[in-house]
Structure 1
């Protein structure tokens, strides 16, 4: 068995029917030339061969008695691939809009906790002749970077695939769930270990907090206490900051990664600053068109990875920070510069905290309490009246920079599909892939039914920033052509004129 960390289990305990806590992706695939097989069957065979390469495919939850502690991961010895991998055929005409609407519908349903927490859907019937692969995995098992590691297990760098070494045979226990005594003993030991680790980290955490919140002494030996410039305890209220339903709407958009890098280089900011400014400009345009742009700037909740370089373990190592989006600034360039300055301050603060933020902590007897509070918050619709801490979730995931293949098919796109939450009905997640930057906008359909309008505004804002970053083209007027006769011919003509005179 393997214990879930405090952050992993929080994604389970905070889940509700209105707020499923799984993340996913939508890949559009080009089938090989002349393909005449059954891609659904090929997908099942492809995943069956590689399931042992990522433990998220083969483990399930074992719940603690009376929810006294966090669940643990155990191996599932009887995985039903016909359940986990399914086929969907779109009705005609099979447009891209239909595909994204169906993905939104699939993303709204909860995963079955009695099975490994993942599902794949092979979607055909597209009028383009392509097929699509939609996948979803519970956030309790992976974060964005761990999801990239899973992708490396199932995708290939060549259409011919690669040799996969079969798993080592293991003895079957023929045990559907663990015994009560075994689970309680494991919970007690894990709680003790979590508590000891947390206590040991307290001095480092206290030191990090001191450097951020306690100002240094001035020349007179006094501390000057003040709030940071532009600091907001709460974000302004908008139509996005409400209690959500389980209905979803999704839109995917793509911009060339080279253009985003051109904007970043030309305007002297980071690539992430460009992503934030593009989203901020789109939100400003959308809210203005709906006559609800607040006077105060919108605030984004931004996930921050705590993962060490090279760590691809299938768990969550992530925290969350808030950052201003400067939507009160009309000029796109000034807005981008303000976002860049805010981002720099956030990075400076996180650099002090990152190494001491705990990702595991004791939650003895807390799972049932967290689930009860989450259910109460959802059913009471408190998000409709409470001021939000942030307006929108914006996440930028470093993806895979090379061409990928899945079961022999060429992977064309890699749209992320993430999690809207109560009080933040819109999630914008961005992932780079093979020269592309794929935006995935997932929202509560009741709060944001016209998500495609927002997605189109995002593309328009990208073009505005690209024009600002592009160097001016100098048009040089062409000089008039002057025809000169050779000097020898001119001399002969002068001589003939002189002789005639």
Structure 2
């Protein structure tokens, strides 16, 4: 019987109620000049089945293993499979942008949200000018994070939407989905019992593989210990907080499960991001995003008179190698990096961000952390989820979360209507009240900001500061210096 991976099982047990695992991704399509875009629920259902009707995620759901003896298993969905996964909602109120966001929040909070891995929803009654063009067609994908990460969702997007305008009615239907015999709910417990010994063997094998990999940090320590002691060296950067320490707290660190949320949205030309990358050799798009968030947070905290003396901490999911085009699974591992709010200059902040983020990703890139993580989650996903909840309650978590999912350079079309905006709304905030969901569309970077109402009482001001941070980074140039490692902090 096929079961979800360890990271997915961690999410499944960590969040409990299914709606807490739901991720709502909105796609707005400009239909003003469109002639062949599906605009009704029935037309959308036909379009979905023609393009991804063979996708197992439309015909399966997750079922827990009794006594939590194994990870949840994929079973045949007899409640609402296939075409029944395509539904519609009417936007609340007058259909304004605020009403649209409130409706997306409501979709994410519906009691059955996340009960199935993939749903397609047509949002009707949207009248959100100037944020969206008049008459926009708004499609929502509601996914279960236990079943798929952002990369898998992006693969679903590319299958559901086209990269060129086309007549959806002329789409050649995909082959009919055929369920496998193993997708029956009855043998879940029996297969879990039969799999205990193989799972234990897998756990031992993963640990052995991990132990054969040299930890880069340990290697550096050993190398340093083999040399003669040298004179003390003045540190070139603020001291990074030790991983076992709780992050410093500010007013943004409220209850991550605060029911009232605020949302903001920001677009940044990719040309601006590219200009910022050139300021520091080797800097990536992710580095620029993190540095911009750090710079904005620093300004926000300064304005509120509470800039801490230590860097904040940021949670980032780190992708690990996976099969290309996969539409399910969570091929990610955890990562926590410092947000150098102690650096007064944006370029110094970007330089420090690039250095420390590279170190974290290089360590993950060896595979050791991921293997050990998979070993633990193969046998003990429920216990790991319980420990994570305990750690979060005790405050050992990040101040901020940044999630990057880049969908490539190709545009998205629904029939012949081009996508002009995407936004993410989710309740996956446990451990980080302020989150940034980052993606790209056409020639723009899009940032969805979500926070507890008390942690970000002035979201528009924060949005403006984040916009200014990207602009400032793009205009900056790294000054030549005899000592490039020297950093000015305040």
Q: TM-score range by the shorter chain?
A: 0.7 to 0.9
1:262 maps to 2:280 = no
Q: Assess if the C-alpha contact under 8 Å between 2:207 and 2:372 holds in 1.
A: no
How is 1:351-500 mapped onto 2 (pairs within 5 angstroms)? Answer: 351-353=365-367, 357-358=371-372, 360-361=374-375, 366=380, 369=383, 377=390, 383=393, 386-418=394-426, 420-468=428-476
How is 1:292-303 mapped onto 2 (pairs within 5 angstroms)? Answer: 292-303=306-317
- Specify whether residues 88 and 76 from structure 1 end up closer, same or farther in structure 2 by C-alpha distance, changes over 3 A only: closer
In the alignment, what sits opposite 2:482?
none
- The alpha carbon displacement at 1:324 in A equals 1.9
Taking the aligned partners of 1:90 and 1:459, their CA distance within structure 2 comes to 29
Taking the aligned partners of 1:108 and 1:332, their CA distance within structure 2 comes to 38
Q: Assess if the C-alpha contact under 8 Å between 2:258 and 2:452 holds in 1.
A: yes
1:349 maps to 2:363 = yes
Which of the pair has more CA radius of gyration?
Answer: 1
Task: Kindly provide the CA deviation profile for residues 214-272 of structure 1, in whole angstroms up to 9, marking residues without a partner as x.
Answer: 444433499x9x99962212321123334322623322211111221122125543322
- Which deviates more, 227-236 or 320-329? 227-236
- The alpha carbon displacement at 1:106 in A equals 2.6
In the alignment, what sits opposite 1:98?
99
- Specify whether residues 323 and 38 from structure 1 end up closer, same or farther in structure 2 by C-alpha distance, changes over 3 A only: closer
- Structure 2, unaligned runs of 5 or more: 128-133, 480-490
Taking the aligned partners of 2:12 and 2:388, their CA distance within structure 1 comes to 11
Q: Assess if the C-alpha contact under 8 Å between 2:49 and 2:173 holds in 1.
A: no
Q: Assess if the C-alpha contact under 8 Å between 1:263 and 1:470 holds in 2.
A: no
| TM-score scaled by length of structure 2 | 0.81
- Specify whether residues 137 and 336 from structure 1 end up closer, same or farther in structure 2 by C-alpha distance, changes over 3 A only: same
In the alignment, what sits opposite 1:88?
89
- Specify whether residues 213 and 149 from structure 1 end up closer, same or farther in structure 2 by C-alpha distance, changes over 3 A only: farther
- Specify whether residues 190 and 144 from structure 1 end up closer, same or farther in structure 2 by C-alpha distance, changes over 3 A only: farther
Task: Kindly provide the CA deviation profile for residues 151-194 of structure 1, in whole angstroms up to 9, marking residues without a partner as x.
Answer: 11111122215744533464787986223653334542552453
- The alpha carbon displacement at 1:346 in A equals 2.8
- The alpha carbon displacement at 1:42 in A equals 2.0
Q: Assess if the C-alpha contact under 8 Å between 2:92 and 2:103 holds in 1.
A: no
- Which deviates more, 196-205 or 137-146? 196-205
In the alignment, what sits opposite 1:47?
48
Q: Assess if the C-alpha contact under 8 Å between 2:38 and 2:44 holds in 1.
A: no
- Which deviates more, 407-416 or 176-185? 176-185
1:71 maps to 2:72 = yes
Taking the aligned partners of 1:353 and 1:175, their CA distance within structure 2 comes to 32
In the alignment, what sits opposite 1:56?
57
Taking the aligned partners of 2:377 and 2:346, their CA distance within structure 1 comes to 45
- The alpha carbon displacement at 1:279 in A equals 0.9
Q: Assess if the C-alpha contact under 8 Å between 1:399 and 1:433 holds in 2.
A: yes
- The alpha carbon displacement at 1:111 in A equals 4.3
- The alpha carbon displacement at 1:108 in A equals 3.6
Q: Assess if the C-alpha contact under 8 Å between 1:239 and 1:447 holds in 2.
A: yes
1:307 maps to 2:321 = yes
RMSD: 3.6
Taking the aligned partners of 1:75 and 1:37, their CA distance within structure 2 comes to 28
In the alignment, what sits opposite 1:479?
none
| TM-score scaled by length of structure 1 | 0.80
Residue of structure 2 aligned with 1:191, choices 188, 194, 199: 199
